[in-house]
Homo-oligomer: A and B are copies of this chain.
Amino acid sequence: MESILRNEASEQRLLSIDLSPEVFREEGHKIIDEIATLISSIRNHAVTPAPTPGSLQEKLPATMPLAGMDPSSVMTETWNLLLENSLFNSHPRFWGYITSSPAPTGILGDLMASAINSNCGAFVLAPIATKIEKQTIQWLGSFIGFPAGGGVMVSGGNMANFIGFLAARKAKANWDIRKLGLHVLQGKWRVYTSAETHTWINKAVDLFGLGLDSIRWIPVDTHQKMSLSLLEKSIEEDKRQGFVPLMIIGTAGSVGTGAVDSLKQIGDLCKKYDCWFHVDGAYGGFAAALPELKGLFAGIELADSVAIDPHKWLYSPLEAGCALVKDPSVLTDAFSFHPVYYNFESKEEIQTNFYESGLQNSRGFRALKVWLEFRHLGAEGHMQLIREDIQLAKRFFELLKETREIEAFTQHLSITTFRYKPHGIDRESGQEYLNKLNQTLLDRLQAGGQVFPSNAVLDDNFLLRTCIVNFRTRFSDLKEFLSIVLNEGRLIHEQMQKANGNTLS
């Protein structure tokens, strides 16, 4: 082996994972063609075949392959495996959680990014990629009307919110937190956030050492906005007891209902109590771009940091999140270290090295797809798509309100919540029954493959929920969804009544 290398490796290695240009071209074209076919025939597919883990196991290799196989067979097999056993959020009837249909330009952006393989940790390693990331961050700020002095692309909403949280922690610590850690403040910090906040805040206070006790969950009002009076009362009480208000989180598009908190008033309270103002706009922040919604988002410009996810409402393929900050130095303060083995200090011009602005050192080129999508459709095009998603949700809500057997609950941005409520079941005394019915209904809908909603829980009511961040959805899809809900709902109600020994009137 050694002798062979000595003789031959100068000009040729013994084995390669490389593909010849011919094979790469052939395999690449094949996959591109398959994707084109999938995109254009997506309505012929189930949203998901909803397979069980066990049924999938036998479709995979039994053990780690020791020998290789020809790339063409691997690619074909793999594509078919994915095609037959995946949930498609590119389907026009996928409205679950908050994952958008991926824009085809974004898919091609990911292909280019992967081929160039820029390591966006440092400018010297990724010159044009770093510039494109910087520009993408600026555009995202401009788009939503937030004066972003800086920011960083991240994997998604959790990480984008974590960045804001960690920037706050560092900026507000009046001791050397990097050196001494968190124990100095003796658990006195308090974080104020709506009871409807996404679970990122639970993860954040846990991982970053404050503990769940540091969260003050502020109830929402009847419009699902954080109650300002209860917020201020909570802060005042905490201060009296010697706690230190660290930050207030404004949610701009809550995960459950899409509600947007009163950002202007929260910003004013942050000023009054010297708190960091973070806005979780991972989903809803994009709607701030619409002139007709400027009032709803007024105050977002007061934030110190904003989380916003292009893979939510700019239709980027996963992963694309972004943390925006007003003052770029808060990121380097929180994240910058300078190991001796990096030669990234600029000698002449100022260079941005993104490894100093977040948790990652090596970083992929997430910005490219977002930047491409902005260029392909323009900001006004994106505004129009967001506007249409919202209009569809509003029309759907109107339709639900007019429908007997449906109880429509909320409609904010592009999220609508409702439940199936059969005749004769009281919403108060029948809550448990209705929750069970709608949970069963959701399970069947999600497994049925025709549509894919998810759920919200509001005042202990289990609700169906559609979040339209889907440029392929048409109103006819929502009408069809409603008729499926009614059919399935009636069926389940009947079964539950029978099981309870009742007959339907």
A355: min CB distance to chain B, Å: 9
Of B66, B81, B101, B349, which is within 8 A of A378 by CB?
A: B66
In the complex, what residue of chain B is closest to A389 when comparing beta carbons?
B13
- Stoichiometry, as copies per complex, reads 2
Residues of B within 8 A of A65 (CB): 374-375, 378-379
Residues of B within 8 A of A130 (CB): 53
State whether A178 and B206 are in contact (beta carbons under 8 Å apart), knowing that A125-B87, A388-B15 are contacts in the complex: yes
In the complex, what residue of chain B is closest to A166 when comparing beta carbons?
B207
Determine if A97 is an interface residue (Cβ-Cβ < 8 Å).
yes
| Contacting pair B187 A185 (CB below 8 A) | no
Of B71, B126, B157, which is within 8 A of A362 by CB?
A: B157
| Contacting pair A374 B124 (CB below 8 A) | no
In the complex, what residue of chain B is closest to A387 when comparing beta carbons?
B1
Of B48, B69, B111, B385, which is within 8 A of A114 by CB?
A: B111
Query: What is the 8 Å Cβ interface bit string for chain A, positions 370-387, against chain B (1 contact, 0 not)?
Result: 001111111111101101
| Contacting pair A211 B115 (CB below 8 A) | no
State whether A57 and B131 are in contact (beta carbons under 8 Å apart), knowing that A68-B378, A78-B112 are contacts in the complex: yes
Q: Could you give 7 example pairs across A and B, Cβ below 8 Å?
A: A17-B105, A18-B471, A19-B39, A56-B127, A61-B375, A86-B118, A203-B335
| Contacting pair B52 A348 (CB below 8 A) | yes
Q: A9-B475, A87-B124 are in contact. List 5 more A-B contacts (CB 8 A).
A: A5-B391, A13-B388, A17-B377, A182-B183, A183-B183
Distance A476 CA – B348 CA, assembled complex (angstroms): 34
| Contacting pair B359 A203 (CB below 8 A) | yes
Determine if A27 is an interface residue (Cβ-Cβ < 8 Å).
yes
**Size range of the chain A interface in the assembly:** 35 or more
Query: What is the 8 Å Cβ interface bit string for chain A, positions 79-113, against chain B (1 contact, 0 not)?
Result: 10110011111100000111101111111111111
Residues of B within 8 A of A60 (CB): 131-132, 135
Of B35, B126, B179, which is within 8 A of A24 by CB?
A: B35
Determine if A425 is an interface residue (Cβ-Cβ < 8 Å).
no
Distance A456 CA – B340 CA, assembled complex (angstroms): 7
